[in-house]
Amino acid sequence: MHRIAIYGKGGIGKSVIATALTAHYAQQGQSVLHVGCDPKGDSAPRLLEGGGTMETVLDMLSRNPNTASAQGVLHTGRHGIVCCEAGGPEPGLGCGGRGVAKTLEFLDEMEVISDGDQDVVVFDVLGDVVCGGFAAPLRRGFAEQILIVVSEEPMALFAANNISKAVKTYSRNGVFLGGFIANLKSEGADRDLINRFAEALSTRVLAFIPRDPEVQLAERRRLTIVESAPESPAAKAIMALAEDIVGADAEAAPLPTPLSDEEFFEFIKE
Ligand code: ADP
Ligand code: MG
């Protein structure tokens, strides 16, 4: 069983990549559970037939915690993917991270995630702030392999540095850093900077995904890029990445060596 969490800054491309990985594994005949852990709540719905919306764990728990059931929040998407979305608090009220923690507690209680039931579990997690809530997939040992989506932009790397700190903290739970996924913002992006940054953190860049107009066309069709345009450069990069992820050796992954904030800003200086 592969338990993967995709972390990264908001808007970096986590859901594009996480849903494409899920769709790819499912198309290969694997049973996949996809858990959206971003208060934005727009990850798992991308895997439903025709798009659409779904009842989130927080919606269900806030309606009536006593009647909450696993069936109420597990939805079947395309290719038999089982989807679930944490959901978010009312804007201006409550805490997004707390919703993620609550969701994982609920899935745990309902024994939703278990060997034999799924071949692959994919968590799509917001990583701007790695507070207790957003760290829940690491803390409770839900996810094992952590992948961080970055771009060439300094603040995307800053978020990756912070996420690496959390991965290091929770490594005692068997969590390991699989590497970075570079989702490039521009054609001429400085790939060397991303490679050097990965090296500084004792990790590696698993894939460079190019900026690809097919990604947005796929979104408009309410499909993932691997379904909508499997021959496109972005889809090919994601499918190769999918193989690398399942082939990863947890034992061989070094502990991340995140930088202090001071070291980070020194690093990104020209
Ligand atoms: P996140 O889940 O990290 O918040 P999303 O996956 O929703 O971010 O992506 C944010 C936006 O960036 C989307 O609207 C998507 O179309 C666009 N995007 C992401 N990756 C690419 C890419 N490789 N090429 C073109 N557009 C992309
Ligand atoms: Mg997202």
Residue 118 reports pLDDT greater than 80: yes
Please tell me the residue having the least CA distance from ligand 1 atom 16. 216
Q: Is 215 in the pocket of ligand 1 (CB under 6 A)?
A: yes
Of 23, 78, 28, the residue nearest 48 (C-alpha): 78
Question: CA-CA distance, 265 to 181, in Å (whole number)?
Answer: 21
CA of 196 to the centre of ligand 2 (A): 26
Select, from the ranges 36-40, 79-83, 172-176, the one with the highest average predicted confidence (pLDDT): 79-83
- Give the full edge-to-edge strand order of the sheet including 75-76: 75-76, 82-85, 32-37, 120-126, 2-8, 145-150, 176-183, 205-209
Average pLDDT over residues 77-86: 96
- Per-residue pLDDT at 267: 96
Q: Is 40 a catalytic residue?
A: yes
Report the predicted TM-score, pTM, of the whole model to 2 decimal places.
Answer: 0.97
Q: Is 16 in the pocket of ligand 1 (CB under 6 A)?
A: yes
Q: How far apart are CA 137 and CA 101, in angstroms?
A: 8
pLDDT band with cut points at 50, 70 and 90 for residue 64: confident
182-225, pLDDT tens digit by residue?
999 998 999 999 999 999 999 999 999 999 999 999 999 999 99
Q: Is 211 in the pocket of ligand 1 (CB under 6 A)?
A: yes
Instruction: Determine the residue type at 179.
Output: G
Residue 174 zone, left/alpha/beta (φ > 0; ψ -120 to 50; rest): left
Average confidence score pLDDT of the chain = 93
pLDDT digit string (tens) for 139-166? 766 999 999 999 999 999 999 999 999 9
Q: What is the pLDDT of residue 141?
A: 66
Does 209 contact ligand 1 (Cβ within 6 A)? Answer: yes
Kindly give the distance from the C-alpha atom of residue 219 to the centroid of ligand 2, in angstroms, as a whole number: 12
> Residue 7 carries which side chain, given as an amino acid letter?
Y
